[in-house]
Structure 1
Amino acid sequence: MLYTITAPWRHEEEIRKSRFLAQAVPIAHPEEALAWFALVGDASATHNCWAYRVGDAYRFNDDGEPGGTAGRPILQAIDGQGCDRVAVLVTRWYGGIKLGAGGLARAYGGSAAECLRLAPREPIVATGALHMHCDFTELALVSARIRESGGQIARETFDADGAELTVTAPLDRLDAIAARVVDISRGRIQPRRDPG
C-alpha cells in the first residue's frame, strides 16, 4: 500500500558540521512540486536538492552536488518509505567537512527518509465515481444511505425532476453502494459507473 503525507513536514539534522533541512509536502501534480521547490528553496544555502513522485511521474535534482549523490537518494527515500504524491526538498548548508559521494548519498537520503517517516501519513485509496438521477422525494434517504455505505456526494446538480448526483467512494465499495441505491429506490435509480 502506498501512503501520502497529510501535512507539510520538516526534519533537520547536522551531519559532520553540515546542516541538512528536509522538507516534505503532499502534492497532486508535478507542477505543484516544481512551484513549491522554487518557493521554499533557500538561496543562501549551499545546495537545494529535491525529488518528487506522483504515480509514474518523478524527477530529482542534485543542484550542484556530484551526480547521483543527492536527488536520486531523496527519490529512493520517497520510494523506500512507500510514499506517493509527495515532494521532498533537502537544503544543505556546508559546514567545512567533505562527506564524499557515499556520505552525501546517506545524508540526503537519510534526511529525506527520516522526514517522511516522522510526517503524518494516510494510505492512498483508489476511488471511483457513480452517477445517478434521484427524485426530490428520495433525495434525503438516498443521500443518507450513500454516506452510511462509505460514499461521498461530490457533486449535486438540480433540475425540475430532482438531482443528478456524482458519488465518490473507494473502488471496493462502489458496487455495494450502487446495489443499495437500486434496492432502496426499488430499481427506479440506476447508478452508472464512471467509464474511467
Structure 2
Amino acid sequence: MNSSAYPVPEQSVIFEEEIKKSVFITQISHTPSIDEAKAFVQQVKIQHSGARHNCWGFVAGRPENSMMWGFSDDGEPSGTAGKPILAQLSGSGIGELTAVVTRYSGGIKLGTGGLVRAYGGGVQQALKLIQTIEKKITTRLRVELDYGFIAIAQSELSKFGALEIASEYSEKVVLIVEVEVNQVDALTLSIINKSGAKAMVSLFENN
C-alpha cells in the first residue's frame, strides 16, 4: 500500500469552448471510486442528453494506479476522445477525478487530429481551474502505557500530527489514535524510546 498523500479536486469545474462551430463542454468532478465516476458520467449524459457525444475518462484512485482508470470515446472515432481525456487526467498527478467532455457538433468535421486536440485540450484547460486538497492516508494505533507517561505520549502524538480518537483509563492508560500511515514507524519508535520501552504500540484492530 502506498502511504503517501496525494491531491484530489476540491470542487467541480467546467470549461467550455467552440472549435469550428462545435461546442465542447468539459466537466471535471471529484469521484473517489469507480462507481462514483460512472455515476458522474451518467449524470452528465442526462444533463446533456441532446448532445451527440459525451466522452469521458476517469482516474478513480491514486493518480498512478492504472487499475482504477477508465475511458470511452462514446461514438467518436476510436482513440480520438477517451484516450486523450485519460492522458491529461493521468498526467496531472491528481487522483480521484472524472472528466466528461460533451460535444455539440456544428457540422464541420474536425478530423482525427482535430478531435484529439479538442478533447485533450479541453481537459487540459479545465485542469488549470482545479483547486486541490491533500488526501492523507491514515491508520489507527493502540497505545498502552502507565499514567506517568501520559504527558510524554501526548507530546509525541502532537509532534507527529496524531489525533486521539478514544481513551480508556483503568490500570493502565489505553489511547486509540489516528495517524498518517507514513508516520507510524517513527511515532511508534519515538513513544517506545521516550517511555523506556514501557509503552506498547500496536495497530488498532476495530472488529
TM-score class normalised by the smaller sequence: 0.7 to 0.9
Q: Could you tell which deviates more after superposition, 95-104 or 183-192?
A: 183-192
Match of 1:8 in 2: 12
Provide the aligned C-alpha RMSD in A: 2.9
- 1:44 aligns to 2:50 (yes or no): yes
Which one of the candidate residues 23, 28, 32 is aligned to 2:36? 32
- 1:87 aligns to 2:98 (yes or no): yes
Match of 1:192 in 2: 202
- 1:99 aligns to 2:105 (yes or no): no
1:128–1:194 contact (8 Å) kept in structure 2? no
Which one of the candidate residues 139, 142, 155 is aligned to 1:129? 139
Percent of aligned positions that are identical: 29
2:145–2:200 contact (8 Å) kept in structure 1? no
Match of 1:73 in 2: 84
Partner-residue secondary structure (3-state), 2:101: strand
Change (3 A) 1:91 1:194: farther
2:144–2:175 contact (8 Å) kept in structure 1? yes
| Structure 2: runs of 5 or more not aligned | none
| Structure 1: runs of 5 or more not aligned | none
Determine the C-alpha separation between the residues in 2 that align with 1:130 and 1:181: 15
Q: Amino acid of the residue matched to residue 33 of structure 1?
A: A
Q: Amino acid of the residue matched to residue 189 of structure 1?
A: A
1:44 deviates by 1.6
2:24–2:104 contact (8 Å) kept in structure 1? yes
- 1:177 aligns to 2:187 (yes or no): yes
Within a 5 Å distance, the mapping from 1:112-123 to structure 2 comes to: 112-122=123-133
The normalised TM-score by structure 2 is: 0.77
What is the aligned length?
Answer: 192
